[in-house]
Structure 1
Amino acid sequence: MDNSTRRRRFKGRVSLERTFITPVNTAFGSAAPLAGMTRDAIQAWVPLAEAAYPDTNNIRKIAAVLMEASARGDLMADHSRDVFDPEARPAPEAMTELAKLLEKVLSETRNMPGKIKT
């Protein structure tokens, strides 16, 4: 694999992270910032978000979308997949669908009583 392919995948991963982190941080502001798209970062974000917004069901929905996006992003960036099974990588459209789902859940969260405390 050449450097341009690696660079393209790295940029794709950064773009993916921005696609998901930015709307979460816009919704939750400084009260519960999401620091990254790793499993650990998402798990650390959940209690912060639950403290800022009491609807734990929506927080868990958001976290589930983030976890799925993280897992798919890892598959998209995994260079070993090229050697063993290039078809195992998710299609870019799958990430777009997850981004839309995240925005939908965030929108529901913003529009419910007991809005996010920022």
Structure 2
Amino acid sequence: MDASTRRTRFEERVRIEREFLVPINARFGTLAPLAGMTGAAINSWALRAAASPGGVDVARVAVLLREAAARAELLADNSRDVFAPAGRTSPDGLAALRAMLDDELRVGDPA
């Protein structure tokens, strides 16, 4: 595998993470911004977001964010070609997670 492929996978992981960060920060950004898609960042966000009004099931959203982060990491994992070529993460799975996130964020939407 060449450096270009690794870079492309990293860039794709960052793009996926941003795709999940943007709607969270659009909804919670002033009270509880989400700084990243690491476990620690999601845990910190969930604690702060749980105290904000809005009717969103923050625990459920945190589960979706953790799953999206894990899938994005798998997409960027260079060892997956060697150890698990058949176990690749499907982009459709990420789209389904994003749709579920959008549904969760619509509950109690102030707009």
Equivalent position SS for 1:30 = coil
Post-superposition Cα deviations, 1:33-92, rounded to whole Å, max 9, x if no partner, equal: 00100111101111110111374x700111010011011111111111111112222111
Unpaired runs of 5+ residues, structure 1, are: none
Q: In the alignment, does 2:22 pair up with 1:25?
A: no
Q: Which amino acid in the other structure matches residue 76 of structure 1?
A: L
- Equivalents in 2 of 1:38, 1:109: separation in Å? 26
Mapped to 2, the partners of 1:109 and 1:44 lie a distance apart of: 22
Give aligned pairs, total: 110
| Percent identity of paired positions between Structure 1 and Structure 2 | 45
The runs of 4+ residues in structure 1 deviating greater than 4 Å are none
The residue number in structure 1 matching 2:81 is 82
Matching of residues 19-98 of structure 1 within 5 Å: 19-53=19-53, 55=55, 58-98=57-97
Q: TM-score if structure 1 supplies the norm length?
A: 0.87
State the alpha-carbon separation in 1 of the partners of residues 70 and 16 from structure 2: 11
State the partner residue of 1:12.
Answer: 12
Unaligned ranges ≥5, structure 2: none
- Provide the rounded CA distance (Å) in 2 between the counterparts of 1:62 and 1:47: 12
Contact conserved, 2:54 with 2:108, CA < 8 A, in 1? no
CA distance in 2, matches of 1:69, 1:89: 14
1:58/1:109 contact within 8 Å kept: no
> Counting helix residues as a fraction of each chain, which structure ranks higher?
1
Backbone CA RMSD of aligned residues: 1.4
- Is the CA contact 2:24–2:34 (under 8 Å) kept in the aligned structure 1? yes
Q: Which amino acid aligns with 1:44?
A: S
CA distance in 2, matches of 1:11, 1:82: 18
